[in-house]
Amino acid sequence: MSELFDAVDALIASRSPLPPPAERRRLRQAHALTLDEVAAALGVRRATVGGWESGRTEPRPPEREAYARLLKQLAQLYPAPENTDAPQEDTETPQMSAGPEPTSRTQRTSGRDRGAGAPAEAGTPPAAPPAAVETAAVETAAAAPPLPRSTPPPRSSHRPGVQGAASSGTAVSAGAYAHGPLLVIDADADRNVTGHGVGGLLLEVPAKSLPSLVEWTLTEARIGAERLHGSGKDADPLLVLTRAACERYGLPGRLSDAERLAGRLPDGHKVIKQLERADWRLTKRGLGPWARIYRPAQGGRRRCVQLCVPSWRALDDRAWGRAAGLHPAELARVLGVYADRVMTPVGSTAVTGLELMTALNPPTRAGEPDEKGKRHSEHRPGSLGTEPMDPAPCEAPDGHPVLAHLPRFHVRGPAERLFEEAYDWARDLTDAECMRRHLVGIDVNLAFGAAANGAVVGLASPPVHVTDPAFDATVPGSWLVNLSHVDLSRVRVSKQWHRLEGDLLPSPFTPTGERPTGPAWYATPTVAYAVELGYDVAPLEAWVRPESGRFLDGWYKRLRNAYVATMADLGVGEELGPREFLTAMDGYRSRDPEMAMVLDAIKMTVKGGIGKLQEKARGGGWKPGHAWPALARPTWRPDIRATVVSRARINMHRKILALAAATGQYPVAVLSDCAVYAADGSGPLDVLPYGADGRTVPGSFRVGVSPGMVKHEGTQSVLWGADVLEQLGADGKVANLARYIKTGEVTAKDTGE
């Protein structure tokens, strides 16, 4: 009889109910479990669990019963959150609202993106890495509703000759988002409209007006992207309208000068009235280069479409190059790869970089049910929360409301204001350097991203003022301290004291590289570096943030993986040695110009996202002492920006110091993430000593593709450098050769002609 019971138990276990695949992944991520941990617990391979979460395979006994038990318990702990909020404003234009930034962004990831998005804080649910086998989005209860049975799916095909998804890391899946995150909408001379998707996908678009296009997108097109975090929201579908598509739907192919200055079409435009009659709404920034069209959420489901209009200058050429002029299929590939590796763009790369922080680290999560059984959102530990926060007075930029009491023309010095900025330092060449042949520039890859990795920053609590504090390098904040006693001619490097040529080195404490002369405000990493160099510090006062965490870790990891994957597409891999890397970098951008555009956009996402943390007031209507729209965001955090910039500058100085202590070589100029050295040879390996074992000076610059490592920025002759210094030298100021080392070209603006 026991054998029969065992057989019955086995039969039941073989059919243990499981949630949909994407829900399995959400539950794992919500509990901060990695694929490896789940695989180890069930006695299977990591790829096997990934297959279960992607829907490619289903678990079999005996693992199925245990897996079902795990998911059931997680579902009790982490019920699926309700998505009830309407789209919110970003900070792209002065016409935006003062509301918080939207958080409904997500993305499927490619095989190269594995491991992205996991904060290191204990107890903080990370954006856990998808499995290496995950190549497709799947249908879930939290995704967009399925197509009505009465409505056939749109006719689709694939355009021959277009490089497909597999070659660039994107994937088109079955399910709610079967056609990827976006479509580039184009029209022909006969007014027929076509949607170009990732992987060469083509969709016939039946919509005859912009309101019907939005309706079709949400009910039939099946575009969008899954959330990046279990407590986040799925990405809204993105429609990119070509100039021909604009004209097909009654929009101007280009904005007039007045419209461009306003950043939007006038409210009385006929297309806006069409949207209003169809009960569609626009956010307060209106119908501009980037726009959101939505209806209030119903039944916990968002109904929002994002528009991008390249011919209205939505794609800034500083970030996207000539992407706006690409064929629709090529543009779909560029934006699709970016959406897959970073996130669906929601504005400029800077806005998207800021939005990515929230998408990977949402401010809220589903709370416990109340007495009526209804669940409400609650603050999610490790996030910045939902409320904006005033900075400490020393952290506030000029004109901020917390400084309204200051006289109108008062100029704050270092003892009143935190000046954490990137390097802009240069010096004259020494006689020995003038005898060398070349000036070699080396550039740190993704320097601000690398500085964000591991940065401990304040979270959702306001700063606390302390007088006569004992310095604590583990506490983020701003410290008023005198560092003028730090002497770079005698410093501790790698725990050993060294005698150096201090006058040939920039000070690590100021952006200009000049030695401080008295008390000044510094972020925690800067003060900690003074201690690392072997000097005591005695702060006079501080603004500290007791609640802290590594908020940016997941952000860095996702962008780092995006950068490395795109460099690999361009033929520059992580496995290359220094010489092979430098060879591979020769002409790498020409191997795939479209992927080079993606690379530039990724780099600008990093830099712009950090910059947006301290977005300044814009527009003629603002007055000093009054708030501006960006201040209403929880992500307006100048203290976090200061921490990252401080770490980037200190990281650069630490590498410079290690090289000087080991080789006696000193930079002649440093500009942000680029340092210039005099050398007898013309390449980075003539500056950086590599042994036969492939190792170089510990703690100094290393050649390679990874963020924090360096590449060749450019080489010019010493005679060229001497000529530039003579041309631009004035009033005792030395020209920064790092600004011109890449091309050797000095503009008329720089020469004053």
> What CATH number does the domain containing 11 carry?
1.10.260
> Which residue blocks in 43-137 are alpha helix, DSSP H?
46-54, 63-77
For residue 90, give the nearest of 283, 341, 343, 359 by alpha carbon: 283
pLDDT of residue 288: 97
Confidence of residue 370 (pLDDT cuts 50, 70, 90): confident
Q: What is the pLDDT of residues 601-615, one digit of tens each?
A: 999 999 999 999 999
Token pair belonging to 690:
């590599």
Structure tokens given for 479: 């410290």
pLDDT band of 198, cuts 50, 70, 90: very high
712 DSSP 8-state letter:
E
Residue-averaged pLDDT of the chain? 86
What pLDDT is attached to residue 744?
A: 95
Q: pLDDT higher for 523 or 175?
A: 523
Q: Which stretch of 66-70, 180-184, 251-255, 368-372 has the lowest confidence by average pLDDT?
A: 368-372
436 assigned to some structural domain? no
Note whether 529 and 650 are within 8 A (CB). yes
Contacts of 318-323 with C-beta under 8 Å, sequence gap 24+, read 318/604, 319/348, 319/349, 319/600, 319/601, 319/604, 319/605, 319/608, 320/349, 320/597, 320/600, 320/601, 321/596, 321/597, 321/600, 322/597, 323/597
The pLDDT, as a whole number, for residue 88 is 56
Q: Say which residue, 752 or 579, is predicted with more confidence.
A: 579
Residue 188: phi and psi, rounded to 5, are: -100, -175
The answer, yes or no, to whether the previous bond of 62 is cis (omega within 30 of 0) is: yes
Residues 158 and 73 reside in one and the same domain: no
Query: For residue 157, what pLDDT is reported?
Result: 60
| pLDDT, average across residues 544-559 | 97
Question: Does residue 125 carry a pLDDT above 80?
Answer: no
Domain match, 221 and 331 both: yes
Indicate if 50 and 176 belong to the same structural domain.
no
Q: Which of 159-173, 327-341, 728-742 has the highest mean pLDDT?
A: 327-341
Same domain, 158 and 72: no
- Model confidence pLDDT, tens digit, residues 247-270: 999 999 999 999 999 999 999 999
Same domain? For 62 and 158 the reply is: no
**pLDDT given at position 57:** 82
User: Are residue 64 and residue 190 in the same domain, yes or no?
Assistant: no
**Residue 356, pLDDT score:** 98
Domain assignment of residue 30, yes or no: yes
Question: In the predicted model, what is the mean pLDDT of residues 210-224?
Answer: 95
pTM above 0.75, yes or no: yes
Q: Select from 53, 77, 101 the last residue of a domain.
A: 77
Mean pLDDT of 171-176: 55
Range 449-458 average pLDDT: 97
pLDDT at 486 (0 to 100): 97
User: pLDDT grade, residue 502 (50/70/90)?
Assistant: very high
Tell me, yes or no, whether 342 lies in a domain.
yes
Q: Give the integer Cα–Cα distance in Å for 319 and 301.
A: 33
Residue whose tokens read 């802009």 = 424
260 falls within a domain: yes
Confidence at residue 154, expressed as pLDDT on a 0 to 100 scale: 61
CA-to-CA distance for 292 and 308, rounded, in angstroms? Answer: 9
Same domain, 167 and 48: no
pLDDT of residue 376: 82
Q: Is residue 723 part of a domain?
A: no
Residues 236 and 349 reside in one and the same domain: yes
Q: Would you call 270 exposed, middle or buried from its count of C-beta atoms within 10 A (0-12, 13-18, 19+)?
A: exposed
Q: Based on the domain organization, do 190 and 321 belong to the same domain? A: yes
Cα–Cα distances (Å) from 68 to 51, 65, 118, 234, in that order, read: 15, 5, 24, 25
Question: Would you give the DSSP letter of residue 481?
Answer: E
Query: What is the number of domains present in the chain?
Result: 2
Residue 507 domain flag: no
| Window from 128-137, 182-191, 501-510, 556-565 with minimum mean pLDDT | 128-137
| pLDDT for residue 740 is more than 90 | yes
pLDDT digits (tens, 9 = 90+) for 95-124: 333 343 333 333 333 333 333 333 333 333
In this structure, of 61-65, 567-571, 642-646, the range with the lowest mean pLDDT score is 61-65
pLDDT, mean of residues 450-457? 98
Which of 327, 354, 379 corresponds to the end of one domain? 379
Domain end, chosen from 52, 77, 102, is at 77
Rg, C-alpha atoms of the chain? 27
Average pLDDT over residues 27-36: 82
* Confidence class for position 149, pLDDT limits 50, 70, 90: very low
Question: Domain span at residue 306?
Answer: 154-365+374-379
Residue 49 lies in a domain: yes
CA 680 to chain centre: 38
Q: What is the pLDDT of residue 373?
A: 73
pLDDT at 551 (0 to 100): 97
What local confidence, expressed as pLDDT, does residue 659 receive? 97
Instruction: Decide: 522 and 420 in contact? Cβ < 8 Å.
Output: yes
pLDDT of residue 137: 30
Looking at the domain assignment, is residue 444 inside a domain? Answer: no
**Are 306 and 174 part of one and the same domain?**
yes
Percent of the chain at pLDDT exceeding 70? 84
Question: Which pLDDT belongs to residue 93?
Answer: 40
Q: CB of 346 within 8 A of CB of 102?
A: yes
What pLDDT score was predicted for residue 9? 59
